């Protein structure tokens, strides 16, 4: 707890700032009919606010005052007549308690085809626990809705917002350019299924900063077609860590390149930094990846490359992964492993990992140097590396 508390104080000063701001807002959702009682359907008022803002030829804003606002699935479509829409949320947006209402929607709140939108503040309560219970039973359940999806958009900022208890993924960035997320809190139960914190795919120039993420799945997952992704100052836990993949879902698949994960704390997570691919043919790739300045606190699998990924252990492809993994650097990674093997490189026999670099890595298990296993991995280890590299 001392490590975590210190990390929060150093890397999360924004949590202690006054969130009030003297900004004049031109579209107040309450003035447009929204009811801050958490029960009345406010969807129409939000749609009207967006239509007004998107139709304005001048920069404009939307304001959500304090209170609780019940929303069904809503889509905010672009392109708009201006590229400077500021959405300030001082209240809480509440999804339907009955998971069936939005459970078959791809997203609860979708921004599609927008340019120059900033969403600041607010709590997004996905009310996902009912669907989680359904999925953990023998019932037939909907797949669930992502809480916030940014799709085919550019120049979008998500700032200082909180996402709670999403049915599925909390935040998805899909087919976008120049997206910045900062000061986010993403929270769900550690046993909630498929509640990834932030998922990025088919997108470039994405930045994720100064955020705390704890869910039942990956804190951050990085899908095919991601390039120029910068992740810095992250507290992750509970969850499955930060993962590139899973990849090789398809034979024709875009690669992942130029990803930096810097200054992160993983606390009691299933994994730390992970690259995962199914054991099947694919033309995908992973290259130019940097994991740097990372603390592991009792993490089950701190450093993982798994090219035989098959979480259910049923109907596994059982073939050699076609994904080519190269130029992955692990630098200044310290802390404790919850298992004896802290480093696992299980690479493809037909496409071995190459250019793996380990520098100043020190991981312990029960006050002893942890172990490492390598298969079909090549690279170098420099400086102090404990466990001893098997590259």
Longest dimension (CA), the chain: 64
Helices (H), strands (E): how many in the chain? 3, 30
Alpha carbons within 13 angstroms on the beta-carbon side of residue 381 total 17
Do 173 and 150 touch, CB atoms closer than 8 A? yes
Return d(Cα 87, Cα 299) in angstroms, integer: 38
Residue for token pair 């650097």: 329
Is the omega angle on the peptide bond into residue 238 within 30 degrees of 0, that is, cis?
Answer: yes
Residue 32 burial (10 A CB sphere; 0-12, 13-18, 19+) = middle
Would you list the DSSP string of 249-268?
A: SSSS---EEEEEEEEEEEES
Measure the CA–CA gap between 391 and 388, rounded to whole angstroms. 9
For residue 84, the 8-state DSSP code is -
Catalytic site includes residue 170: no
**Contact status, residue 103 vs residue 72, Cβ threshold 8 Å:** no
Q: What is d(CA 22, CA 39) in angstroms, rounded to the nearest whole number?
A: 29
The residue length of the chain stands at 391
Q: Which of 240, 293, 313, 334 is catalytic?
A: 240
In SS3 terms, 194-219 reads as CCCCEEEECCEEEEEEEEEEECCCCC
Which residues on adjacent β-strands are paired with residue 352?
Answer: none
Cα–Cα distance for residue pair 341/353, rounded to 1 Å: 19
Q: Are 135 and 175 in contact (CB under 8 A)?
A: no
Helix ranges (H only) for the chain are 2-11, 43-55, 129-135
Contact (Cβ atoms closer than 8 angstroms) between residue 154 and residue 176:
yes
Q: How far apart are CA 299 and CA 184, in angstroms?
A: 22
- The residues annotated with a catalytic role in the active site are 240
């Amino acid at each position: 707890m001392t490590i975590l508390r210190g990390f929060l104080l150093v890397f999360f000063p924004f949590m202690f700032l006054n969130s009030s701001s003297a900004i004049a807002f031109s579209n107040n959702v309450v003035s447009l009919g929204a009811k801050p009682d958490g029960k009345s359907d406010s969807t129409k008022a939000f749609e009207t606010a967006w239509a007004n803002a998107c139709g304005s030829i001048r920069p404009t804003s939307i304001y959500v005052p304090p209170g609780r606002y019940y929303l069904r699935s809503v889509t905010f479509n672009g392109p708009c007549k201006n590229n400077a829409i500021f959405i300030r949320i001082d209240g809480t947006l509440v999804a339907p308690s009955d998971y069936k209402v939005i459970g078959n929607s791809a997203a609860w709140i979708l921004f599609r085809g927008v340019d120059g939108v900033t969403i600041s503040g607010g709590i997004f309560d996905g009310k996902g626990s009912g669907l989680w219970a359904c999925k953990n039973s023998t019932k037939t359940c909907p797949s669930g809705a992502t809480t916030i999806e940014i799709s085919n958009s550019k120049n979008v900022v998500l700032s200082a917002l909180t996402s709670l208890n999403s049915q599925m993924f909390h935040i998805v960035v899909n087919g976008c350019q120049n997206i910045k997320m900062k000061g986010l809190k993403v929270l769900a139960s550690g046993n909630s299924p498929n509640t990834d914190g932030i998922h990025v795919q088919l997108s470039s120039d994405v930045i994720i900063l100064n955020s705390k993420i704890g869910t039942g799945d990956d804190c951050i997952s990085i899908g095919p077609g991601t390039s120029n992704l910068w992740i810095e100052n992250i507290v992750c836990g509970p969850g499955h860590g930060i993962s590139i993949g899973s990849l090789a879902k398809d034979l024709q698949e875009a690669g992942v390149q130029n990803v930096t994960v810097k200054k992160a704390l993983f606390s009691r997570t299933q994994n730390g930094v992970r690259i995962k691919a199914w054991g099947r043919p694919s033309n995908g790739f992973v290259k130019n990846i940097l994991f740097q300045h990372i603390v592991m606190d009792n993490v089950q699998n701190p450093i993982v490359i798994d090219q035989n990924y098959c979480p259910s252990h049923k109907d596994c492809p059982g073939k050699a992964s076609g994904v080519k993994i190269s130029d992955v650097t692990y630098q200044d990674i310290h802390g404790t492993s919850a298992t004896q093997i802290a480093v696992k490189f299980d690479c493809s026999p037909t496409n071995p990992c190459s250019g793996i670099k380990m520098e100043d890595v020190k991981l312990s298990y029960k006050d002893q140097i942890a172990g490492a296993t390598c298969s079909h991995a090549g690279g170098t280890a420099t400086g102090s590396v404990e466990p001893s590299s098997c590259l």
